[in-house]
Structure 1
Amino acid sequence: MTGPRVFFYVQHLLGIGHIARASRISSALARNGCKVTLVTGGLPVSGFPGDDVTAVALPPVAAASSGFSGLAHADGTPVDQRFLDDRRDLLLSAFRAATPDVVIIEAFPFGRRQMRFELLPLLDAIEAAKPRPKLYTSVRDILQQQKKAGRDEETVATLDAHFDGVLVHGDPAFVRLEETFPLAGRIIDKISYTGLVAPPMPPAPSEIFDIVVSAGGGAVGRDLIRASLDAAKQVASDKRWCLIAGPNLPEADFLALQREATANLQLVRFRKDFPSLLRGANLSISQAGYNTVCDLLVTGCRAIVVPFTAGGETEQSVRAERLQALGLASALPEAGLTADMLARSISEILEKPKPALHRIDVGGAERTGYIIQNAA
C-alpha cells in the first residue's frame, strides 16, 4: 500500500516527550504506507526516531532555562543569528527535497514560538509550493495556558491563514481542547481528536522492580530522584527500586546520587524497557508527562505523579488532577516535595488495589495515520 509523502517537524527543547510522541506517530504512518521524513531539532535521544522513517537532524538547540526562555547549544551557550539562519536554510532545503503531500508541524502555533525564525519561512514555502501540501499541527491533549494577552488570538490567526487541520492527541472524554485553549470554538472545524498516542502493551519485563522512579528527560527531574532516593531509605529494604534519572540530568548530579545508591536500588540514566518495567512493578513514581502517563494507562501500574510546574508550567498539573479524580494515580506537589511526604504516600498507595480499568482512548497513533492517509 502506498500512502502520501509526509514531512513531520518536531522540536524538543527540555524533555523527550515531544520527540517520543512524534516518533510513535511517524512509525504508525510508515506502517500505513506513508513515506515519512521526520525532521528533529533537539539534542539526540537514543532510540528516536526509528529506522522506519527518513530522519533529518538539524543542528540541535535546547531551552536555555526551565522556563523555555531563549535557545542554547548543548553546552548551554546562546545561539547566534548566523546559526539560526543556517538552521532555517537546512530546514527549507529538507522540505524541498521531500516534496511532501502532507506537512505536520508539532506544537506550533500553539507553542514553540522560539522557533518562528524557521517555521514562519517554512509556512511561506508551503504556501508557495505547487501543488501545495496539506498542513496540520500536531498537539498533545493539554496545552500550556498562555499568560500574555493576545497570544491565543495570534494562534487562531496563524491557524486560519495556513493550517488545514489540528490533530489533538487526546480523548475528549478525558480532557477537551477548550479546557486549556479558550478560543477552541473558533477553530472547531479544524479539530480532530485522535486519542492518546500510547504504545501497545509491552512484553513482560526481564527483571522485576517493586518501585520504578522516572524523571523523563532528566533536565528538571533531579529533585524527584533525590526525594525518591531518600524515601527508599525509609521504606522496607526488601523492595527493589529502579531510579531512571534521564539522559539530560547533569553528570555531576548523577554521580552524586549514584554514590548514595544502596544495594536494593539501581540508578540508571535510561531503560529502553521502561514500559515493561512498569508492567511488572507494584508502583511508579514519575512526573505527569504525556508519554509516561500513556505508559501508565496501558500497563495499569499504581502511580504517584509529581507534575512539573517550574517556569509557570500548567500542563502536567491538569493531567495529574484528572488522573487523581479518576482514581488512576495519586498526585503530589513538586514544590515542597520531601522524602517523608513521598514515603508516606508510597506506604498508602501500596496498600490499595491496582487502578480499575479505564476507557480512555489510547489508539492515537493509528488514528492519526488514518486521518493523514485520507488527507492527501
Structure 2
Amino acid sequence: MKIHAPKKIVLFSHDSVGLGHVRRNLALARAFTEAADRDGTGPVTGLLITGEPVALKFPLPRGWEWLVIPGITKSGSSYGARRLDVPFGDLTQLRGRIVRGAVLSFGPDLVVVDRHPYGVRQELAPALRDLKRERPETRIVLGMREVLDEPDRAAKEWAKLDLDQFCRDFDQIWVYGDPRVHDPVESGEIPAAVSHLVRHTGYLSAGRAVGRSPRMVEQPYVVSMFGGGSDAFELAELAARTPVPEGFEHLVVTGPQMPSADFRRVQAAAGPHVQLHKSVPDGLACLREASAAVLMGGYNTMCELLSSHVPALVVPRTSPRTEQLIRATALERHGAVSVLEPEAVSPDALARWFTAATTGQIAQSGGRSAIDGRGLDAVVRLTAALLSPHDAPSVSLRMSLTAAVADAS
C-alpha cells in the first residue's frame, strides 16, 4: 500500500478588523481536509496564520494548527499595533520574521495569502521570496473576495506594487465569487497586468460546515447578526429596539469584537422578546433555523446566507470602504437579498421588513440557486492542478480539473 506524505498548506490572513479573513481561511482548511478524506488522496496538514486571537475559539479540522502572530488594528486608513507598545514598523518586521521562520521550517506545498498579497507594509515579501528560492516547487496563491472596493481605490492599492514582481511571486489569483454577479477584472478592481493569473472559483458557500443549532432561542425566531461587531453598535442598537412579529423571538448577535461598553448600551436598549449575545457557537446553524435575518454585507456572512433559504435584509457597511454596498447591490440585482442602506434603517423599517419576510412576502431562494456557490470544491480542484502539474491524472481527475477550469472561466 502506497503511503502518501501529507500535503502541507499555509493559509495566511493579516486580520486587522473583523473575522472575515480568518473565517474564510478556516472554511478552506476544512474543505481541503474533507476532500482528502473523501477522495483518498492522502492526508493534509497545515498552518492557519492569523493576527486575531479570537480565532482560537473556532474548532480546527484535523491536521491543522493556529499560529497567532502579534495583532494589528485599523483606525480609518491607518494601521497600528493592537496590543504591543512598539512602533508599527517594528511590529510588521516582527510579524514578517515570525512568518518567515514558520514557513521556511514547515516547508509548505501551497501558500494562500488572503486579500493583501504581501500583508501589511510588505511584511510577507521576504518570507514569500525566500520560500520561492529555497522551495521553488511551492505554489503561492493570492485569495481574494469577489469585491475589493471602488475601482479607483483598488487601483491605488495595486499601484503601490511592482506588478512584474507580483507575477513572479504568485502563481495564481483565486477570486472567490461568481463573475456573473460581480467581476473584479471587468470592473477594474484587478488590473489587466495580472488578470491572466485570475481563476474565478464561485462563492465559498456550498459545503460550509454546519453543526446543530445551539438553541440560543426558541423557534420561531428572527435573527440579526453583525459579523465581528467592532463597528456595528448603531445598527445593533436599532435592531435590539425593533418590535418583532407576534409569536416570534429575536436573536441579536452583536459580534465578539463589539466593545463591552457598546454591548451594555445595546442591552439597555433591547426590547421584549430579544435574546442578546456577543457570539454564538454556530452562526450558520442559527441563521438556517431562523425565519428571517437582518445582516451586514461581509463576504463570509453572504456566503453563509447563500447556502440557506432564509429571507434576508442586508444593511451594508458603506465606510471606510464601499465593498459591502457593492456586494449587496449586486446580489440584490440577482434576486438573492433585499438591501437597506444604513441611513434608512430604523426600528419601524426593520419591523416592516420582518413582518413581510415572516408572512411569505419575500422570495429570494430562486435568485440564490442561480448563483455559483461551489467555490470550496473549485479551490480543491485548482489546488490539485497546481500541485500536480506534471502528473498524468486519472480520467476522473482530468474531468474534475476540466470542470474547475470551466467553473473558473
Secondary structure at the counterpart of residue 366 of structure 1: helix
Which residue in 2 is equivalent to 1:134? Answer: 139
Deviation at 1:367, TM superposition (A): 1.6
Q: Residue type of the partner of 1:254?
A: F
Matched, 1:194 2:205: no
Residues 151 and 277 (structure 1), Cα distance of their counterparts in 2 relative to 1, 3 Å cut = closer
- The answer to whether structure 1 residue 35 and structure 2 residue 45 are counterparts is yes
Q: How many Å separate the matches in 1 of 2:252 and 2:264?
A: 13
2:110 to 102, 113, 127: 102
Q: 1:61 to 1:250 in 2, by over 3 A?
A: same
Report the CA distance shift for 1:165/1:87 in structure 2 as closer, same or farther (over 3 A): same
Residue 4 (structure 1) shift = 3.0
Tell me if the contact between 2:313 and 2:337 (Cα under 8 Å) persists in the aligned partners: yes
What letter is aligned with 2:16? L
> 2:291 is aligned with what amino acid?
N
Instruction: Say whether the 8 Å CA contact 1:19–1:48 is kept in structure 2.
Output: no
The sequence identity of aligned pairs, in percent, is 24
Q: Is the 8 A contact 1:17 1:289 kept in 2?
A: yes
Secondary structure at the counterpart of residue 261 of structure 2: helix
- 1:162 and 2:169 aligned: yes
The alpha carbon displacement at 1:179 in A equals: 4.1
How far apart in 1 are the matches of 2:236 and 2:136? 51
1:365 aligns to what?
A: 376
Match of 1:219 in 2: 230
- The 5-angstrom pairing of residues 321-332 of structure 1 reads 321-332=329-340
Closer, same or farther in 2 for the Cα pair 1:2/1:171, shift >3 Å? Answer: farther
SS at match of 1:105: strand
Cα distance 1:216–1:78, how it changes in 2: closer, same or farther (>3 A)? farther
Q: Secondary structure at the match of 1:175?
A: coil
Aligned residue runs from structure 1 range 245-256, under 5 A: 245-256=254-265
Match of 2:10 among 7, 11, 16: 7
Match of 1:52 in 2: 62
Distance in 1, Cα, partners of 2:299 & 2:53 = 19
Letter in 2 for 1:295: E
Residue of structure 1 in register with 2:127 after alignment: 122
Q: Shift in Å at residue 243 of structure 1?
A: 0.1
1:61 positional shift: 1.6
Moved over 6 A (4+): none
Post-superposition offset of 1:230: 1.7
Query: Which one scores higher on RCO, CA 8 angstroms, separation ≥ 6?
Result: 1
Q: Deviations over 1:128-175 (max 9, x none)?
A: 214341111011111123438653344544432311100111112222
Q: Does 1:151 align with 2:157?
A: yes
Distance of 2:23 and 2:50 partners within structure 1: 11
Q: 2:327 aligns with which of 311, 319, 322?
A: 319
Contact 2:104–2:131, Cα closer than 8 Å, also in 1: no
Q: TM-score, normalised by structure 2?
A: 0.82
Where do 1:42-81 residues align within 5 Å?
Answer: 42-45=52-55, 47-48=57-58, 50-65=60-75, 67-74=76-83, 79-81=87-89
For residues 372 and 181 of structure 2, the distance between their equivalents in structure 1, rounded to whole angstroms, comes to 9
Partner AA of 1:194 in structure 2? T
The 3 A distance-change label for structure 1 pair 269 and 336 is same
Task: Give the secondary structure class of the aligned counterpart of 1:116.
Answer: coil
- Counterpart in the other structure of 2:283: 274
* Amino acid corresponding to residue 192 of structure 1 in structure 2: R
Contact 2:328 2:339 in 1 (8 A): yes
Q: Give matches, 1:336-375, under 5 Å.
A: 337-351=345-359, 352-357=361-366, 358-375=369-386
Q: Deviations over 1:204-240 (max 9, x none)?
A: 64442421000100001111111111222xx445320
DSSP-derived class of the 1:6 partner: strand
Match of 1:176 in 2: 183
> In 2, distance between residues paired with 1:164 and 1:291?
24
1:304–1:130 distance in 2 versus 1, CA, 3 Å: closer
Residue 322 of structure 2 aligns to which amino acid in structure 1? T
Specify the alignment match of 1:295 in structure 2: 304
Distance 1:148 1:269, change over 3 A: closer
Give the direction of change, closer, same or farther, for the CA distance of 1:56–1:129 in structure 2 (3 Å limit): farther
Mapped pair 1:310 → 2:301: no
1:17 aligns with 2:20: yes
Compared CA separation, residues 177 and 183, structure 1 to 2 (3 A): closer
Q: Deviations over 1:22-74 (max 9, x none)?
A: 01101212232332222112232354361424324233323231x34212314
Number of equivalenced pairs? 368
1:245-296 CA-to-partner distances (Å, cap 9, x unmatched) read: 1000000111222233344110001112222222222210010111111121
SS where residue 124 of structure 1 aligns?
helix
Task: Check conservation: 2:51, 2:68, Cα contact below 8 A.
Answer: yes
RMSD (Å) for aligned C-alpha atoms? 2.5
- TM-score by structure 1 length? 0.89
Structure-2 separation of matches of 1:153 and 1:91: 25
Q: Is the 8 A contact 2:220 2:247 kept in 1?
A: no
Distance 1:183 1:38 in 2: 26
The question of whether the paired residues in 2 share the 8 Å contact of 1:12 and 1:19 is answered with yes
